[in-house]
Structure formats: structure tokens, C-alpha cells
Amino acid sequence: MSDFFAHPTAVIDEGCAVGAGTKIWHFSHIMPNCRIGEQCNIGQNVVISPEVILGSNVKIQNNVSLYTGVTCDDDVFLGPSCVFTNVTNPRSAVNRREQYAKTHVGKGASVGANATIVCGHDIGAFAFIGAGAVVTKTVPAYALVVGNPAKQIGWMSEYGHRLNFDASGFAVCPESQERYQLINGAVHKI
């Protein structure tokens, strides 16, 4: 008996490691040699391509595609129908499997519903990608980005609240009361 749950319609290929307490739901396909951490929740109709690595407590909503080259740290949230790419110039008649670009999603980051993450652009820890955004460049830690192409419009706390920095460069999360400082265009929790 395994220490994770997989719905009978889910397919888990050989060579995968799935952590304790993880749940894999209807019609999802975990392809060969993936590593999935503990306490993850993989929604319905999710495709995780070969060699993708997920940390612990990653939440993946329905209809998400994660292609080879993607890695996610702990506590990442991937909203419904978001997608990651792995080739910048795909052509059906040209095989570019040896040219897959990597994308890393940092701890605690959230990617909104229907967002597209173009390969080769990392997402920083606790960044927040708005619904429908098309990410075409690297996103800094704690950044809030929206639109097509995605543009940064602010900063987010680790609890997912917009940070409003005062003239001295300090902000407080309204939920956690944690303090943040903005120094030279980067946010640091203090």
C-alpha cells in the first residue's frame, strides 16, 4: 500500500517518486521520473511531463500543464488551466527536445488561473502572477505581475496581500503583521 492517494483514473509512469500524503486526482498523468514532494494536491486533468520536480505542499488546480524543465519549490500554488512552456520557438517538424529551457518557481509563489509562463524565466519566492498573465521575463521575489505581457504593478506579502510601502520603504502585511522593507528595488521580510 502506498502512502499517497491516486484516483483510479490517474496514470503514474515508472520511475516517479511521490511523497507521503500527496493526492493525485481524476485523469491526471504523471510522466516518467518526476519527483513530487509530500502533501501535494494535484487536481483533475493535470499533465506533469518527464523529470518535473515539485517540492512539498504544492497545490496544482485542474487542467494545468507542467512541461519538462519546470521545478517548483515548497508551497507553490498553480491556478486552474495555467501552463508552462519549455521551447521558445516550437515547430511540429523540428525536434528540440535537447533544447528545453528551464523554469524555476520559488517557494510560496502563486500563479493565477490561465496564466502562461514562457520558458527560461524564473519566478521568485512569494511572487504573485495574476490570472491570465503572460510571463515573458524573470519575476523577482514578492513581485505582483499582471497582463500580457506581464508587468510588475506592486509587491505582495507572504500571506498574499498587496504591500504598501511608506516613504521610508517599510510595509506591514495586514493579515500576518509581518514587516517588509524595500531596498534598491528588492523586497526583504524583516
Cell of 97: 527536445
What does the pLDDT look like over 103-150, one tens digit per residue?
999 999 999 999 999 999 999 999 999 999 999 999 999 999 999 999
Domains along the sequence of the chain with CATH: 1-156 (2.160.10.10), 164-190 (no CATH)
What does the pLDDT look like over 141-186, one tens digit per residue?
999 999 999 999 999 999 999 999 999 999 999 999 999 999 999 9
Looking up cell 500527496 gives 22
Say what the pTM is. Answer: 0.96
Q: How far apart are CA 188 and CA 130, in angstroms?
A: 21
